[in-house]
Amino acid sequence: MSPRRDRPSTDAPRTGARKPYTRPSSAHRTARETLSKRLSAGDPRSDQHPQRRIPVGLSTSSVFPAGVEEAFRLAHEIGYDGIEVMVSYPKDSQEPALLREYSERYELPILSLHAPTLFFLQGLWGRDAWVKIERTIEIAKELGVPTIVAHPPFRWQGKYAHGFVEGVAALEEEHGIAIAVENMYPWRLGVRELLNYFPDHDPTDEQYSHVTVDLSHAATAGDDALEMIERLGDRLTHLHLTDGSGRTTKDEHLPPGEGNQPCAEVLRRLANRGWEGSVLLEVTTSNNAEVRERTLRQSLAFARHHLGHHLEDEVDEGGDVGSTTP
C-alpha cells in the first residue's frame, strides 16, 4: 500500500484546458485501435524482473450481490492479500466495528475503502458529496486504512465539482489519508459521448497526489492504460485489475485476460519498477457460487503470475515453481 504523499508530485501536469460537453463517439474507437496497433507492431510484454512483491487484494464489489463478509471469506480461502471495501448501503460496509471483526476473523488487512461516490449511491448519507468522502475518511482513520478511492465529480455537482481538486488536497493534508481519484469514462449517447465528469473522466492531467487506474474504465473510455500509468509515475496508488473490450457502452469489468486491455503488460511494468501500490481485483462474477470462486481463483493466478510472484516462489522452494493459488 502506498503512503500518503505530503504534496502534489512535480510530475503532475495541469494544462488548464477543459474538454467540451460532448465529443464524437468515434474517439474511443480511435484510441482503442491505436493501442491495438501499437501492441501488435512490437510493443512487447515486459520481461519479468520484479523489484517488489506487490499485494493483490479483492474488492468486495467482485462478489456482488453476495455481501461484505463473503468477500472476506473467499479472499481468505483463496489466498488474496487484503480487501478493498466498497462502502455502500449494507450496514456492515459502513460499520467500523464489523469491518474490524471481519478483518481479524479472516486475517486480512483492509487495503482501501471505496467512498460511495458512484452514481447509484448518490442517496447514501445525503446529497452532500463531501460528506460521503469525509465519512469514509473517518472510517478509514478508525480502522487504520491508509487510502480511500473516490470517483471524480459529475459536471452537475456545482461547487463540489469546481472545487474538487483543491478540496481533495485539503482533506489529505488535514487527515493524513490518501484520496486516490479513479479514472472514469464518458457516457455514450448515439453518435456523441457526454463528457459527464469534471474536470475530466481522466484524472491523470490534474494535480492529484494519488490516483487509481481502473482498466475496465480505460477500456470503456478508449484510454491507453499503459500511457496512463507512465504519466502518473509514483502518483499511481491503486490499480483496479479488470478487463474490457471497449465495444459496448457498458462498464464490463471482465476478469483479466478476457478483454483487450494490456492487463499482463501493466502488471509486469509495475512490478519491474518496484511500484509501491496495491492491485485490487474488481470484476463482475457469476451469481453461481462455484463459478464465482473459480473466476476469483483464476484472476488471482493471472495477477500473481504477471506480477512475478512465481519467481519468488521458485527461489523459496529451491527451483520448483510454486502454485499461485492455495
Q: What is the per-residue pLDDT across 76-106, written as a single tens digit (0 to 9) for each? A: 999 999 999 999 999 999 999 999 999 999 9
Distance CA 160, CA 149 (A): 17
Taking CA atoms, 141 is separated from 69, 147, 297, in Å, by: 21, 9, 31
Residue burial 105-114, b: 16+ Cβ < 10 Å; e: rest = ebebbbbbbb
For residue 279, the cross-strand partners are 56, 239
Q: DSSP states of 236-269 as a string?
A: EEEEEE-B--SSSSS---BPTTSSSS-HHHHHHH
Mean pLDDT value across residues 55-67: 97
For residues 125 and 135, is the Cβ–Cβ distance under 8 A?
yes
For residue 280, the cross-strand partners are 57, 240
Supply φ then ψ for residue 244, to 5 degrees: -165, 160
Mean pLDDT value across residues 102-122: 91
Distance CA 181, CA 169 (A): 11
Cis peptide before 153 (omega within 30 of 0): no
Taking CA atoms, 188 is separated from 196, 220, 222, 223, 250, in Å, by: 10, 9, 12, 14, 9
The predicted pLDDT at position 323 comes to 39
The predicted pLDDT at position 217 comes to 96
Can you list the domains of the chain with their CATH numbers? 46-309 (3.20.20.150)
The predicted pLDDT at position 326 comes to 39
- pTM value is 0.86
Q: How far apart are the first and last CA of the chain?
A: 23
Distance CA 34, CA 315 (A): 39
Residue 319 has pLDDT above 50, yes or no: no
The predicted pLDDT at position 320 comes to 42
